[in-house]
Amino acid sequence: MRLAWVELRDLRNHRHTVLEDLPDGLLVFVGPNGEGKTNLLEGIFVLYAVGTPRAATAEPLVRRGCERAYARGEVASAQGRALIEVEIPRRGAARMRVNRSPVRRRRDLRRHVRAVLASPADLGIVVGDPARRRGFLDEAVVALQPAADTLSSAYDRVLRQRNRLLKEHEGGGAPVGLEAWNEQLVVAGTALTRARAAAVAEVGPAASEAFERITGSALQVRYASNVPTDGDLEEGFRARLAERRDDEIARRTTLVGPHRDDLDLGVRELRARGFASHGESWGAALCLRLGLAAAIERAIGEAPLVLVDDPYSGLDPERRVRLGEDLRARADRAQVVVTVADEGHVGEASAVWEIRAGEARRRGAA
């Protein structure tokens, strides 16, 4: 999958930025922090994930003083070329077009463009609370299986219904209708659990391999499902609900289900251990994203766009070199776009853009 060109208008600090004739291989955006290289990378990611909230920044996508931002680009994939256009108003839903025809769902973009963005904010997946890891799991589910984008919201709706029922229940015994909501919870919950387990089975090994190439140790990635995954999933879920029934009524909330899932991460040496340094944690976060990219490649038969924001500053020199080698190896099969603040980290790139004050200038161009 290859981006042929991209154009941003009024997106963050980019008033009008056009990148033309994008070559294959490794593309680098270089510039001091705060000048707009991350914004450019996220602007490209919008073509895949418009409207997906990312924790990188609370700053709105629309440039200050403007009503709407635009991102356009042309993607060449095994299915042919697709012109993707996204219009993001300051308030309200984004409008998307593929080959000049409006599309309604993000899923419709994902048929044409797949991208993985790794950014320093992903450190939260490793060091943050379990909600961040569940967020990553669900991103991975959707990235691998675009049609599964309703699983997590469907489960969330059952959960909110059931929690409200438990919360407002007065008096002894179970609230009337609890059994009916249990079954809805089991149906939606097992669907989500299955999808998350399948995603981890795909992403985990690839992430571990990438981590080993960069650090020399394997990464442990284990899906810690809240409901037992050995044996029949539905039966296990129902049995766990029965066990916790009195607790749930006493505490007036749902205590069983994938909203309490986690992802166990660690370094696998002789025994699994936690991450010893910032560099190791960031390496793990980055490798989860790279593992996702590899899993997508296996699933669809071609590599997604890989966008990596500022990968090197958190790493020691040796790991920096190994990551550089890994990204260059990926760039043989797909476009890899990397931002760097330090001129010394540019390395051998197919093309380099200098980013200053929301403008991009291609190095070597007249």
Partner 1 sequence: MAYEGPIQELIDELARLPGIGPKSAQRLAFWLVKAPPDEAKRLAEAIVRAKERIAFCRECGNVAEGDRCRICRDASRDPTQLCVVEEPTDAATLERAGLIKGRYHVLGGAISPLDGVGPEDLRVQELLDRVERDGVREVIVATNPNLEGNATAMYVAALLKPLGVRVTRLASGLPVGGDLEYADEVTLSQALEGRREM
Which residues lie near partner 1 (CB under 8 A)? Answer: 150, 154, 157-158, 160-162, 164-165, 168, 176-177, 179-181, 183-184, 187-188
Q: Which is nearer to partner 1, 161 or 217 (CB)?
A: 161
CB of 355 closer than 8 Å to CB of 37: yes
Question: CA angle, corner 346, sides to 344 and 351, nearest 5?
Answer: 150
Q: Which is nearer to partner 1, 165 or 355 (CB)?
A: 165
Q: Which is nearer to partner 1, 182 or 281 (CB)?
A: 182
CB of 204 vs partner 1, minimal distance in Å = 30
Q: Which is nearer to partner 1, 90 or 160 (CB)?
A: 160
Q: Which is nearer to partner 1, 163 or 217 (CB)?
A: 163
CB of 151 vs partner 1, minimal distance in Å = 12
Q: Which is nearer to partner 1, 179 or 325 (CB)?
A: 179
Per DSSP, 304 falls in state P
Q: Which is nearer to partner 1, 55 or 180 (CB)?
A: 180
Tell me the three-class secondary structure of the chain, residue by residue. CEEEEEEEEEECCEEEEEECCCCCCEEEEECCCCCCHHHHHHHHHHHHHCCCCCCCCCCCCECCCCCEEEEEEEEEECCEEEEEEEEEECCCCCEEEECCEEECCHHHHHCCCCEEEECHHHHHHHHCCHHHHHHHHHHHHHHHCHHHCCHHHHHHHHHHHHHHHHHCCCCCCCCCCHHHHHHHHHHHHHHHHHHHHHHHHHHHHHHHHHHHHHHCCEEEEEEECCCCCCCCHHHHHHHHHHHCHHHHHHHCCCCCCHHHCEEEEEEECCCEECCCCHHHHHHHHHHHHHHHHHHHHHHHCCCCEEEEECCCCCCCHHHHHHHHHHHHHHHCCCCEEEEECCHHHCCCCCEEEEEECCEEEECCCC
CB of 158 vs partner 1, minimal distance in Å = 6
CB of 178 vs partner 1, minimal distance in Å = 10
CB of 154 vs partner 1, minimal distance in Å = 7
Per DSSP, 228 falls in state -
Q: Which is nearer to partner 1, 12 or 162 (CB)?
A: 162
CB of 176 vs partner 1, minimal distance in Å = 5
CB of 194 vs partner 1, minimal distance in Å = 17
CB of 362 vs partner 1, minimal distance in Å = 47
